[in-house]
Structure 1
Amino acid sequence: MNLYLGVFGHTALDVILKVPNLPEKDSSIAVESRVVRYGGTAANIARAAAEMDVDVSLASFVGDDFPEDYLNSLKESGVCTYDLKNMEGYNTPTCWIVNDAKGEQITIIDQAVMDHAESFELATRTMNECDILHIGTGKPDYYEKIFERTDSEKKTIAFDPAQELEYVYEPSTFEKFLRKSDYFFCNKKELKVALNYLNEDTPQGILKYVDTLVVTKGAEGSSLYLSDEKVDIPAYEPQEVVEPTGAGDAFRAGFYAGLDRGMPLVECCKTGSARASFSVECSGPQDNLVNWEEVRDRFEKID
């Protein structure tokens, strides 16, 4: 079986808390609301992409407490879960996501089983059967094995360590992985970290290492950097903003849905913006699943 996209990273449970404002150090604040949602960056991307008819495999580790309903929902969306491995004796990663009224966010994560990924077998089926490998959050020691394995296989690799870039990666490891990648995804904050690690002054400096840089900027849209140009892509204005969790993952899913259909990279970023707009209209990263036709409709309204 040949698949288009293989997504490596977290499958997690998200505990989403809403507060009036993020607390200062050594202070407390009351929670206004609490919900538990299915999440994890890799699972979010994979499920959203599958709902848009992208053939996608999810490569991730979960624990004994992984809900069967979550597994079934991934399968029902069309995600190949062969490499979603349930590891006996471990817990499933859990994120506590705190959002305030201004849209600012902090996240606390228990890596759980993913903290031991380097001791587990590689997800070889995803590596072998997928055209594009999206390397997301997770242990660099595990991903180093994947990069080594794919060196001679000419796989297209997108590197997207997300928030873990700042506290999981050493600059030397980041640079090594970046040199082996074709795409680099990040948000504005992660871009600053990347530039600092590489001793570069501008985003264009990252193009010394990869062919394509995609920077997501929330309500400001996104920026696409190529060797000869920079293109700013506006966001699609959502009907309402409930909370931002998973919007970046939704953007990536939309990007791949466009890429899978042979669309130019600028249009892929527009499909990413269109897909992300649905995500912020709900309270969980997998709560507002939409098909390609719905995304295409919003895509056509982006200037």
Structure 2
Amino acid sequence: MRIAVTGSIATDHLMVYPGRFTEQLIPDRLDKVSLSFLADTLEVRRGGVAANIAFGMGRLGLRPVLVGAAGADFGEYGQWLAANGVDTGSVRISETLHTARFVCTTDADQNQIATFYAGAMAEAREIELGPVVRRVGGLDLVVVAPDDPEAMLRHTDECRATGLSFAADPSQQLARLGAEETRRLVDGARFLFTNEYEAALLQERTGWTAAEVLARVGTWVTTLGENGVVIAEEGGAELRVPAVPTGGVKDPTGVGDAFRAGFLAGVVWQQPYERAAQLGCALATLVLESVGTQEYEPAWTDLSARIEDAYGAQAARSIAPHLPEVPTTAGGAS
């Protein structure tokens, strides 16, 4: 089973200011703000929803096809992804724009000042899925993850027109989509991924009840944070899968992306949805205990042990044979 993951590719530039932003703000001068903060640290991390999902699948031994737009500065990042099992041959490289960038400064009170630069992501709307399908010899599923909204709509429409199975993952883009656009992204999806808040927002945007959403999609997967995952299908009972206990939270960024990677790997391995969700939850916990969305180092014996502790020996025995015997190494790219 071959899966393409469409969506954002980005780098995060994260800085820490040791003081407090509020100490530099003059209440009666807020109409003319001109401030500069001297940061103590800078961390540059690889990110972007599609890249994170593809990375996780690649680490699990699959060969996902990453479909998105990046800039000429993508070279080193692309090498990193390729070294970790991702097919980057369908990434569009912009001739004029940089890869999307998230620049954020956090102060001592955890207040943040951030800017997101879409950059090359705006060119994702120029990507056609047909050439991707021909290049890789066919696709079984296309994940439409957060991206340039026009790109998301184009990919979804093309999937419907050509009969390609797709997964809808509108995520944070729901906030800027209208009713008709949201319906176009969801209607006919084999899988719909949301978190709990997005599930409510999606119903508000579409005007559909939960039952009406389920009538239009195959399987609705909703992540509930520390409360695990709920999987629903029309006419069936909800399936609830608890989260895998964590040894300590370091950074929640990218946890949902890791869950999707694990769940989709389970689907590829023809595991029942309960097992797929259990794998997703286990991989999500590894990210939760790491700093950065692609910095975790899966130890497959540890992953199996976590699954056994959380879900029992039978779950671990079902998943373990599919895990790589030796984890894919990151190589020299960093």
Q: What TM-score do the two structures reach when normalised by structure 1? A: 0.86
* 1:122 alignment partner AA: E
Unaligned runs of 5+ in 1: none
1:54 matched to 2:62? The reply is yes
Query: Which aligned pairs between 1:2-151 and structure 2 lie closer than 5 A?
Result: 4-17=2-15, 34-66=42-74, 68-96=75-103, 108-118=115-125, 120-128=126-134, 129-151=138-160
| Greater CA drift, 152-161 or 258-267 | 152-161
CA distance in 2 between partners of 1:292 and 1:226 (Å): 31
Q: Determine if contact 1:10/1:137 at 8 Å carries over to the other structure.
A: yes
CA-to-aligned-CA distance 1:8-35 (integer Å, 9 cap, x gap): 0011101235689x98997999978542
Partner of 1:163: 172
Q: Determine if contact 2:157/2:184 at 8 Å carries over to the other structure.
A: no
Q: Determine if contact 1:5/1:54 at 8 Å carries over to the other structure.
A: no
Shift in Å at residue 139 of structure 1? 2.5
Sort the Cα spacing of 1:263 and 1:292 in 2 relative to 1 into closer, same or farther, 3 A: farther
Q: Determine if contact 1:236/1:277 at 8 Å carries over to the other structure.
A: yes
CA-to-aligned-CA distance 1:63-115 (integer Å, 9 cap, x gap): 1222x321111111111111112111111101246789999999742111112
Sort the Cα spacing of 1:224 and 1:34 in 2 relative to 1 into closer, same or farther, 3 A: farther
The structure with the largest alpha-carbon Rg is 2
CA distance in 1 between partners of 2:84 and 2:109 (Å): 33
Q: Determine if contact 1:51/1:292 at 8 Å carries over to the other structure.
A: no
Q: CA RMSD in A?
A: 3.0
CA distance in 1 between partners of 2:283 and 2:107 (Å): 23
CA distance in 2 between partners of 1:199 and 1:72 (Å): 43
CA distance in 2 between partners of 1:141 and 1:53 (Å): 31
CA distance in 2 between partners of 1:233 and 1:280 (Å): 18
Q: Determine if contact 1:103/1:244 at 8 Å carries over to the other structure.
A: no
Q: Determine if contact 2:145/2:152 at 8 Å carries over to the other structure.
A: no
Partner of 2:214: 207
Aligned length: 297
Q: Secondary structure at the match of 1:259?
A: helix
* 1:134 alignment partner AA: V
CA-to-aligned-CA distance 1:223-251 (integer Å, 9 cap, x gap): 11122111221111122211111101000
Partner of 1:279: 287
Q: In percent, how many aligned pairs have the same letter?
A: 25
CA distance in 1 between partners of 2:143 and 2:305 (Å): 26
Q: Secondary structure at the match of 1:278?
A: helix
CA distance in 1 between partners of 2:173 and 2:119 (Å): 15
| Greater CA drift, 176-185 or 107-116 | 107-116
CA distance in 2 between partners of 1:49 and 1:106 (Å): 32
Shift in Å at residue 116 of structure 1? 3.2
Query: Which aligned pairs between 1:288-299 and structure 2 lie closer than 5 A?
Result: 288-290=296-298, 294-299=302-307
CA distance in 2 between partners of 1:15 and 1:53 (Å): 29
Higher strand share: 1
Higher helix share: 2
Unaligned runs of 5+ in 2: 312-334
CA distance in 1 between partners of 2:190 and 2:158 (Å): 16
Q: Secondary structure at the match of 1:15?
A: strand
CA distance in 1 between partners of 2:197 and 2:112 (Å): 12
CA distance in 2 between partners of 1:153 and 1:212 (Å): 21
Partner of 2:242: 234
Q: Secondary structure at the match of 2:239?
A: strand
Q: Determine if contact 1:46/1:56 at 8 Å carries over to the other structure.
A: yes
Sort the Cα spacing of 1:266 and 1:70 in 2 relative to 1 into closer, same or farther, 3 A: same
Sort the Cα spacing of 1:106 and 1:205 in 2 relative to 1 into closer, same or farther, 3 A: farther
Shift in Å at residue 197 of structure 1? 1.2
* 2:144 alignment partner AA: I
Sort the Cα spacing of 1:238 and 1:96 in 2 relative to 1 into closer, same or farther, 3 A: farther
CA-to-aligned-CA distance 1:112-139 (integer Å, 9 cap, x gap): 1112332x24143434522111001112
CA distance in 1 between partners of 2:108 and 2:279 (Å): 27
